[in-house]
Structures are given as C-alpha cells and as structure tokens.
Chains A and B, each alone.
Chain A
Amino acid sequence: MSTFIFNHRVYYVSSSDDGTVLIALNVKIDGNDYINWFDTVKDRIMKIGKIIDDNSEHFVFQRSDSQAKGVYTFVPMTLNLYNEKVKSKVLIPQDFSSEEQMLKAFEETKNNAW
C-alpha cells in the first residue's frame, strides 16, 4: 500500500454509510493502516480496508473497523461544495467571497478545538 499525500488544505468528506463526516483538515495516512484527519471539532481515525480510488483530486476508501465497513470519499473543498453541501451544517454559517477566505476560516478551527 502506498502512502498518499493529501496536499489540499481542506477536504469535503462524504459517506452514504456514515452521516458523521463532513470536513477534513490535516489528512494523513498513518502507518499505511489508518487514515486520520481533524474534522474542525476533533480528530477522526479510521482503519483502511481497501483503497477504491485515488488521484490528486479524489480519494475513496473502504473502512475496515470491527463493525464499520462504510465507503468514504475525500474531495478538495471548493466554494461551490461549501455552499451546496457544508454551509448549512456548520455551527454559524458564513458567506465567503473567495476560496482563500473560506479555507482560512476552516483552518482557524484548529486553534479553537479543545
């Protein structure tokens, strides 16, 4: 299994099997077995069973934790994705005039999660 480099600052995460995922920062593959990320509130860690698809813009894996076998998709966060899929599900929804502004606001959550 290769090590994947997640070089985008923020990802939109979706899974038809798991409604708890939404946003990912600091995405890393740890020890080739686990994927972990910060979801703006806490760290998430999942065991990777199978990588279904990957390229620089798209990463899909199937989870392999005891009772959780869902499929998860990571795509870089864009303003469109934010407005369509994420905005209504954050604490205090905001409008952004640029992608940079939006990314910075997501990154700021790292300093406030404790």
Chain B
Amino acid sequence: MYRIDNGGSLTFRAQGKPKEFPSESIPELKNMLNPEFSAGQVFAGLTEEELKVQAEQLVANLSDEDIETIVKQSGLDEEQAKTIQTGLIGRKHFLVTRFNLKQKSVERIPIAIEKLKEQLEQLSTLELRPRVGILTDTDKIENQEIDIIDASDIGRYEINFKLTAHHWKTVLANLRKMRDSQNPDFIFSKSTGFSESTGENTIYYTKTAKPLSSTERQKDIVHRYHEDNTFRVASALTIKKGNILIKISTAGESDFGYYGHNRSAFGVVHIEIPNEDGLSSEEMEEKINNIFKDILQVETGLTTPPLEAEKTYKKARYAWLHKLDSSELVPEEVSSKLTREEVISGYFTFVEKDAHKKYQQISPYAVYHSLCSPSTLPKLIRAGGLLSTHERYRRGLLFSGLSSSKDLESGGGDSVFTRLVTSEGVKGRSTLSGVASNDGTIIFHPRILDRTDWYAYSSDNYGKTSTEEFSRRQSPRQVFSEQENSGYNHSNEQMFRCGISTNDILAIAVTDEEGLINLRHVLHIDGIDTLNDRPIEEMIVIAKTHDDAINISGGKSENLMTLAKFLREDPDRVLEIEIQPITDLIDNLHHTTRMWIDYATTIREYDSSNEEAYEYITPNRVSNRLEELLNLMNTNLIKYIQDHYRDPKLFKIPEKNKMELLEKIRLLLKSVGDFIEILRTRKADMVLGDSLDFFEHKIVEIETQSVSFINSIKEF
C-alpha cells in the first residue's frame, strides 16, 4: 500500500499553510519543473509539447461554466469560493495565451440555455424573463459581455449587448454601404418605421406574457407588438439572416421622434432568434457565432476574452473609475488586484477586493437606496436585487406604463442609483433627514464600492452620461473629499451599472417601531423569512440618524433596535401596533356612521330638500357602506390575520386592546342602529325610499354576524 502525498493545492501549500492563488499566471508551471525542488525532480522531464497537449485537453474539456458549477457544489464559503473560481478560470485563460491555444466557442450557448431554464421558476411570479451573461470579445463589445434572455413567452430568445462607441459607428457605416450596394449576402429590412405586424426597424421591449401555444402565438402576434405591450427603445438598422432579426440601434441619429434620443440605447444590438422546434442550442450557437463574425465584425465570435484583452480592459476600467487620463497611468499591479465577478446574476464586472477598506480609512460611510414603497421590497428580493430601468424593461418588466422614460434618455437608465453619506460629511449635524423613511431604506455592504463600474455626481444629476456631464463625474476619492470639504449633500448620487445584488444588502432601515412591524408583514406575506441566510428580523433595523446608517454599514449596529430585538423586548407594544389597522378601520366606519346620522337628523329637523344631505345619503352609498361593515363582521378580521400571518396562532390581541376594541364595536353597532332608526322614522320623504327594507335586512345580517365577530375577538 502506498500513500501518495498530493502536496500543495489551490490555496494551500504542501504543509497546509495558505498560499497565493493568482488568476493572472501559473507560477507552478516553472516551480514544479525546477529540479531544485522535490516536485521538479519528478516533473523536470516534461517537454513544452507535452505540456501543451495537456493544456489543450484541459481547455477543450473544461468550460468556465463547469468550473463555476464545481466550485458552487464544493460547499466552500463565499469568500473562498470566489477566490478559487476566479483563480481557476483565470488560469485556464492563462493556458490559452501561454500555449497559444485555439479556444473553441462550442457549448457556451447550450450551457447558457440550461442556466436560463434554472431561473424560470424563481422569476415566474415577477414577469421577469430569465437572463444569463456570457463573456466574450476583446474590445468591440462593451464590458466584454453579451446577455441572453429567454423570451419564450413570445416565442424567441433575445440577445442584447452594446457595441463600444467607435465600433458601433464603424459597423453602422459598413452595413449601410452594403445595403446601398445591394450586397446579396445581406438582406435588410425594407420597411420603414415601426411595424406593428413585424416590429422591424425598431428595437422594442415587450411585456412578459403567460406562455402561449404556437397556434395561440400566431393569433396573438399582432397584439404582442401592439403599443400597449411594447416600449419602443430606438430605431434600428435591421438585417434578416434566415428567420433571425439582427437590430442595431441608430439612436441619436434617427428621425424616431422622442425615443431617438435615448442615450441608454446608444450602441445597443438586439438579436431575435425564434425559439423553433428542432433548432438545437449547438446550431443556435453556430448561427450567433456567424452573425458576430459576418455582420457585427467581431472576429473572435463567441470565444472568451483572451488574457491580454482582459488585462487591457482591466486597466481601462480602473482608469475610467478613477478618472485617470490614460490607461498608461494605471499601476501595473492593478491588473492582478482586479478580478471579474458576477456581481448580480448574469452580469459581470471587475472588482478591486477590499478597496472599500481604503475608503473607510478616509471616512466611515454608508451607501443607501430609499424605497418609494415597502411593497417593492419583496419584488426586488425575488428578482435577486435592484435592477436598472433598462435591465428590467429588456427583460419584459413593463408593468407600469406611466413611468417616465427620462432616465433612459439621460443614460441613467442603465444603472441603479444610490446615495452616500460619510462621517466627515455629517460631522456634528447627524440627523434623520435624507436617509431613512418608513418606506424602507436599503443600506448596502460597504464592499459595494469595490466594484469598478460605478460613477458619481455630487448632486442629483439623474445619472446623465452625455460627454459634457460625464466629464464632471467624481472619482471615488473626490466623492469622499467633497463631503469632507463641503459637507454631505442629500442629493449626491452614485450609479451602479445593471443592478445591485441582494447579497450586498446589509440592512433595511426604518424610522420607528411601526416601520419595523410593517416591513415584517410585507415580507412575511410574500413568504420571505430570510435574506442572505439571515432571518429578516435581524436585518430590519431602526436608523434615526446618519451616524446610525454609517454604524450599520461599519458593522457596529449592536446598540440599534432591530426587529428581532423589538419582538423580544416589547411584545405588548408589538401587539398594539399589529392591532392598529383593525382599530383604524372600526374608527373610520364609526366616524362615517355618525356623519350619516348628522345628515339624516338635519333632514328630519330642518329641510327635506337639503340637497347636500340627499346627495350624501344615496341608496348606493348607504349600500356600499353597509356592505363594508358586513365585510368587517364577516371576514375582515380573519382576512387581516391571513394577510399578515402565515400562522394565525401567532396573532394575539392584548387584553386592554381587546376591551377597547369591543367597546368600539359596541358603539359602532349602536350608531348603525341609531341611523337605521332615523331612516325608518323618515321613510316617507327620504330619498332612500323603497331601499329601506333592503337596508333593514342588511342591518339584521350585520347584527347576526357581529356576534361571531365579537366572539372571535374574545378568542384572540
């Protein structure tokens, strides 16, 4: 029996100590061949050719996606998994460059399609189409990434990406030349303007719909392109390749009216591939590859970005973030510090690990995003994070037709907006103002600033990306120095490309205890108990000042009131807050009934032609109000409990509130009785006339139901 010592591996040395695991190089290719080391005595004989053969086999058989899957299944913690995944993928790419290997693009689309299927169920309730990102190209596609969207609800896959500014202009110019010379290899759409039957010459996004059969789809096709379901993003130069439509945005140069100005559509390429029976994902990949090479002049097709191109892009991105005049000014070591990470499902960017710690040394800070309604919180959690307007729309989430399209016009629609407050910025004047509200304010993990795809303005500029405005954006250091020198400006803004993952949510802040309970209900109704593997009760917290928000961000929130703490320490107050909506409902009904009595009395005592009173007590209104009252007696309490508690056993009414509630109900019922009595005595000249019998019948019903309603309160 022999025991083989595997030696060092991944992030461990042979003796178990940690070691560097760079993604930029494979030092072991030298070390392990060095006969001065014990391993070298074994491997020193390997020739360059033998190494190349092994590298070729590995690159051909191990996709980036395979590595991702293996690491995911390993059970490593998030930090370790990230280091190893980045290292392995980077090293695979290093082999491609080192041995000058030809990398096949095969199977990237099939794997992507499998991933799309995995997302279908999770996103189905949101009407948000699944999307995955594929890294590709060197310098012609923005962010070296294309997105595939599963739009099978309208019978197709959609591929979206942006060409870099220069290449976009080049491609458009070349294609127009071909169109003008009537090159037979390219069939251009001949129609002009938007066509409701085919949607040609326009890039448009359509609302997600329930899946249809192919027959239904044929019938429904005109409806799909109908203006009620579509958002017209930009005019486009459209080329047909078989039944595939390739649309290249002409935004900014077209006669497309208002929408021609959408900066978010600059450079956009939108490819529509019918989801036909019989088209395998491998065939689809070949078609896309050819479109990239032949039409979009992206010679590398769908191959992954080579290491050198990635290095160049890293430097360019770093220079862009820090507002350096040229990539040449970027320190050489930066390329080894930046790693490409999937910061939100399907979207990649470079991340400079721990850059946020340097910013925290300048001044502790919090990055936050205010919600405009608590009801949006479950939706964004289900979607995996906050998504930019453009990202939501192209994935079919067009539910609110009256939303302004101004952010797409300014270019801000490509990003999610946050604001930032620093300790230096609020020194001596830390107040509630500007950060928290009971609608909920998301406080992000400070590492969000490790991303290299964000830009900032010192005040609300709507994320504009025009050349002039963009030159005024702030570098990360300027963001901090501005607050140190001029104080915190509530309206400052940072724009993060595409979206921000729920993984980066550290807490959700509200201003008081009612806010805590309300957010808990909103999440519980949606079946959301945990976020980032933490109970939501620990994540919902009261922040009353800027300093509170900064402390949360810095991990110093032990003195703040979380929902978990509130539930534990003040259960009576919790129940009081929970019963409030029922109390408010009864008060409201009582108030209205008293008002009716006043009107009815006025009629009796003074003037039956009192028009105001007659107008108020119409048969219809009385009927509606009695119905509301009956609903309360019949179901409202139960419905309330069902809406707010998946386990009604958790619902208890404190004794003192129980007495108060019963008294309120007694008064309400008495008022209703008084009202009907007044109506009865005035029956002859009341506008209600014959309806009175019907109302009396209703009152009896209410009185009967009220007995069980009162009993149900006594039980809780």
Contacts and interface: CB of A to CB of B under 8 A. Distances in A.
Given A26-B372, A92-B228, A45 B402 contact: no
Interface in B357-409: 370-373, 375-377, 379-380, 383, 386-387, 389, 393, 398-407, 409
8 contacts: A20-B407, A20-B412, A30-B433, A65-B460, A66-B459, A91-B400, A92-B228, A92-B231
Interface in B205-234: 227-231
Given A34-B434, A41-B404, 9 more contacts: A20-B407, A34-B491, A45-B491, A47-B489, A90-B403, A94-B228, A108-B400, A109-B403, A113-B373
Interface in B226-271: 227-231, 257-258
Given A68-B461, A89-B404, A94-B401, A31 B372 contact: no
A89 B228 CA distance: 14
B431 interface: yes
Given A67-B472, A108-B400, A90 B459 contact: no
Interface of A: 19-23, 26, 30-31, 34, 36, 38-47, 65-68, 88-94, 105-106, 108-114
Closest 8 CB pairs of A and B: A65-B459, A92-B401, A114-B376, A45-B491, A20-B462, A112-B400, A114-B380, A31-B433
B257, B372, B401, B459 — most chain A CB neighbours (10 Å): B372
B410 interface: yes
Contact of A91 (B370, B383, B405, B491): B405
Interface in B457-493: 458-462, 464, 472, 486, 489-491
A44 B492 CA distance: 10
B401 A105 contact: yes
A41 B400 CA distance: 10
Interface string B506-529: 000000000000000000000000
B417 interface: yes
A11 B410 CA distance: 21
Nearest to A32: B433
A36 B490 CA distance: 10
Contacts of B460: 44-46, 65, 68
Given A23-B404, A91-B402, A42 B434 contact: no
A114 B386 CA distance: 6
Given A20-B410, A67-B459, A40 B376 contact: no
A6 B230 CA distance: 34
Contacts of A45: 419, 434, 460, 490-491
Chain B binding site: helix, strand, loop or mixed by DSSP? Answer: loop
Contacts of B464: 20
Contacts of A113: 372-373, 376, 400, 403
Given A88-B258, A111-B375, A114-B371, A46 B491 contact: yes
Contact of B372 (A30, A46, A89, A110): A110
A102 B707 CA distance: 42
A56 to B, nearest CB: 24
A91 B398 contact: yes
Contacts of A34: 433-434, 490-491
Contact of B227 (A21, A89, A93, A111): A93
Given A92-B398, A93-B227, A93-B401, A42 B489 contact: no
A94 B402 contact: yes
- Residue among B375, B405, B460, B461 with most chain A CB within 10 A: B460
Interface in B256-308: 257-258
Contacts of A39: 404, 406
Given A20-B406, A90-B405, A41 B389 contact: yes
Contacts of B371: 114
A15 to B, nearest CB: 12
B143 to A, nearest CB: 23
Contact of B406 (A36, A47, A67, A89): A89
Contacts of A31: 431, 433-434
A106 to B, nearest CB: 5
Contacts of A42: 372, 407, 417
B369 to A, nearest CB: 9
A109 B386 contact: no
Contacts of A111: 373, 375-376, 400
A76 to B, nearest CB: 16
Contacts of B417: 42
A103 to B, nearest CB: 10
A34 B372 CA distance: 17
Contacts of B400: 40, 91, 108-109, 111-113
Contacts of A38: 372
Contacts of B412: 20
A30, A38, A46, A66 — most chain B CB neighbours (10 Å): A66
Nearest to A105: B402
Contacts of B431: 31
A105 B377 CA distance: 20
Given A67-B472, A93-B227, A40 B402 contact: yes
A26 B375 CA distance: 16
Nearest to A37: B372
A45 to B, nearest CB: 4
A11 B596 CA distance: 34
A19 B406 contact: yes
Nearest to A18: B462
A109 B410 CA distance: 20
A65 B387 CA distance: 27
Contact of A90 (B404, B434, B489): B404
B511 to A, nearest CB: 13
Interface in B682-711: none
Nearest to B459: A65
Given A65-B489, A89-B258, A112 B407 contact: no
A67 B471 CA distance: 13
B491 A65 contact: yes
Interface centre among A36, A44, A113 (most CB of B within 10 A): A113
Given A40-B404, A90-B404, A114-B386, A46 B398 contact: no
B490 A30 contact: yes
Contacts of B376: 111-114
A12 to B, nearest CB: 11
A23 B406 CA distance: 10
B458 A30 contact: no
Interface in B90-105: none
A6 to B, nearest CB: 16
